[in-house]
Structure 1
Amino acid sequence: MRTLIGTSGWQYRHWRDAFYPPDVPQGQWLEHYAARFGTVESNATFYRLPAKETFEQWRARTPDGFVFAVKASRYLTHVRRLRDPAEPVRRMLDAFAGLGDKLGPVLLQFPPRMPADPSRLDLVLGMFPADVRVAVEPRDASWWTDDVREVLTSHGAALCWADRGGTEATPLWRTADWGYLRFHEGDGHPWPRYTEGRLKDWADRVADTWPGSAPVYAYFNNDQSGAAVLDAETFTRLTDRH
């Protein structure tokens, strides 16, 4: 497997001192981050879709080979709930094009109580070009059906493996020849850190599921107190052993 590990976002003011040195201005935080990690998941795109020029700037400020995963706009997933997806998908892709070859997966995260609709999911996934990877993170148990799994597999879309509170929050389906993981909150100390044992279990599971050179993207969303940075570094060390 080829793991790309980072955090869900980089613009956290409470990471000052915990990750960003006091003498590094906020306008250079992306450069500092990209010197330590090879990928990041942009959560900000969920709340407000930046202009294409912003993505172009992000691309220019990061080294060759750096990868941006981008979270799809809440307008598509939470407001429209996947209905009439053509315009929001087109608008997102037009903006994301500013990343060029640094565009990684697009994450579709659904509302916690949004019931399953395989036909609507099939329509949305069909609107993404074949060269754009899409990960899907449902959060309602009604999505865990054979019909949903078949839709994901038919489009080569990855089911996002999610961990909340040190427990799997999703089935561990392999629906694509690549993987996507999100770590929301660990059960270690201090909160919300993950224990090394828990992260080792995930590293072993990933290696068993995606052997060889299959890319696997993993992002830590437990940003409080800089826990995400520390856990991402630990997970990198553990996956490097495989």
Structure 2
Amino acid sequence: MPGKVLIGVSGWRYTPWRGHFYPRGLAQWRELQHASRVFNSLELNGSFYSLQRPSSYAMWAAHTPPGFVFAVKGSRYITHMLKLRGIDVALANFFASGLFELGEKLGPILWQFPPMMRFHPQVFEDFFRLLPQTTHEAAQIALRRDERLQGRESLQPGRNRRLRHAVEVRHESFVDPAFIRLLRKYRIAWVVADTPNPWPLYEDVTSDFVYMRLHGSTELYNSRYTGAELERWARCIEAWRDGGEPEDARLICPTRARARAGRDVYCYFDNTDKRHAPVNARELMDLLGVRWTPPPA
């Protein structure tokens, strides 16, 4: 059967959205409630900048309706500072910091890499081998957290669930079929990241789900998507959702992914500076007929 389509925005706390996407006078603490009743998924990006607290994850889960999903951005300490070397404790701290408090609302984990970081096959294979495939595996990793999380850790994963990982790269050295094969080996999604040049835009399918980040096609974090651009993305999503690929897909690896009955598609708009992200996200939902009708807040 076709996969699920989850569409939303990256983050939700933006001053320019107040009085536009958010009703005038809406209390700041209610912004997540509002956004999670317009979109069926959001990208949680505070986790990229610093370790969050279990109480924060628990609050975010409580303020969102049943069936809602968070994508969680992995720590930049791991990707940008340590550059995947000597990361055992940092990875343990990340998984101990509160992700399990999201419960059934925990969706894919996004690992974004800096533009200067190149593809080193062994470094990335070692990293992919470390990534937990289930919440119970993640809980075992979390047990190795250090003293900085003393008294502020969350170590109970609840029901065992599969974890999904996605990787966003920004250096041309990753435009290599060997990297696509490596992602497929570990069932990690290549992030379809739409940005102005020079960051790579390709649409290889490497897992049983697809992860998209739409940053703006002509001006990074700023430009609004046109109707024609959104129509193409809608066609791509329909093909991926149905388990195939667009005929005009821009590919690194000439070998296409095997067809499936369906794939889940996660799509997040990050063209936030001029309030375009929520508008474009709703337009894409309309094109695809994505209906999200959770109970009122």
TM-score band (shorter)? over 0.9
- In structure 1, the residue matched to 2:267 is 218
Counting only pairs closer than 5 Å after superposition, residues 1-242 of structure 1 correspond to structure 2 as 1-94=3-96, 95-130=98-133, 131-165=162-196, 169-187=200-218, 192-211=223-242, 212-240=261-289
Q: Which amino acid aligns with 1:52?
A: P
Unmatched segments (≥5 aa) in structure 2 = 134-161, 243-260, 291-297
CA shift digits 1:121-178 (9 cap, x unpaired): 2222222222111000010010121221121111110000011149983221110010
Task: Indicate if the aligned counterparts of 2:6 and 2:41 stay in contact, CA closer than 8 A.
Answer: yes
Task: Indicate if the aligned counterparts of 2:8 and 2:278 stay in contact, CA closer than 8 A.
Answer: yes
* In structure 1, C-alpha distance between the alignment counterparts of 2:241 and 2:21, rounded to whole Å: 31
* In structure 1, C-alpha distance between the alignment counterparts of 2:163 and 2:86, rounded to whole Å: 20
* In structure 2, C-alpha distance between the alignment counterparts of 1:206 and 1:223, rounded to whole Å: 21
Q: Give me the identity figure in percent.
A: 34
Q: Normalized against structure 1, the TM-score is what?
A: 0.93
* In structure 1, C-alpha distance between the alignment counterparts of 2:13 and 2:82, rounded to whole Å: 28
Unmatched segments (≥5 aa) in structure 1 = none
* 3-state SS in 1 of match to 2:108: strand
**Could you say if the C-alpha distance between residues 235 and 169 of structure 1 is closer, same or farther in structure 2, counting changes exceeding 3 Å?**
farther
Q: Which amino acid aligns with 1:175?
A: T
Q: Normalized against structure 2, the TM-score is what?
A: 0.76
Higher strand share: 1
- In structure 1, the residue matched to 2:255 is none
Structure number with greater Rg is 2
* In structure 2, C-alpha distance between the alignment counterparts of 1:173 and 1:186, rounded to whole Å: 18
* In structure 2, C-alpha distance between the alignment counterparts of 1:209 and 1:10, rounded to whole Å: 26
Q: Which amino acid aligns with 1:75?
A: Y
Task: Indicate if the aligned counterparts of 2:33 and 2:64 stay in contact, CA closer than 8 A.
Answer: yes
When the two chains are superposed, the root-mean-square deviation of aligned CA atoms in Å is 1.9
Q: Which amino acid aligns with 1:74?
A: R
CA shift digits 1:168-210 (9 cap, x unpaired): 832211100100000001349xx51100111111111222234
* In structure 2, C-alpha distance between the alignment counterparts of 1:107 and 1:214, rounded to whole Å: 17
* 3-state SS in 2 of match to 1:19: coil
Task: Indicate if the aligned counterparts of 2:191 and 2:210 stay in contact, CA closer than 8 A.
Answer: yes
Task: Indicate if the aligned counterparts of 2:19 and 2:25 stay in contact, CA closer than 8 A.
Answer: no
* 3-state SS in 1 of match to 2:58: helix
* In structure 2, C-alpha distance between the alignment counterparts of 1:17 and 1:147, rounded to whole Å: 48
* In structure 2, C-alpha distance between the alignment counterparts of 1:141 and 1:166, rounded to whole Å: 11
* 3-state SS in 1 of match to 2:33: helix
Higher helix share: 1
Q: Which amino acid aligns with 1:173?
A: D
Task: Indicate if the aligned counterparts of 2:12 and 2:32 stay in contact, CA closer than 8 A.
Answer: yes
> Aligned pairs, how many?
239
* 3-state SS in 2 of match to 1:176: coil
The alpha-carbon deviation at position 3 of structure 1 amounts to 1.0
Q: Which amino acid aligns with 2:105?
A: K
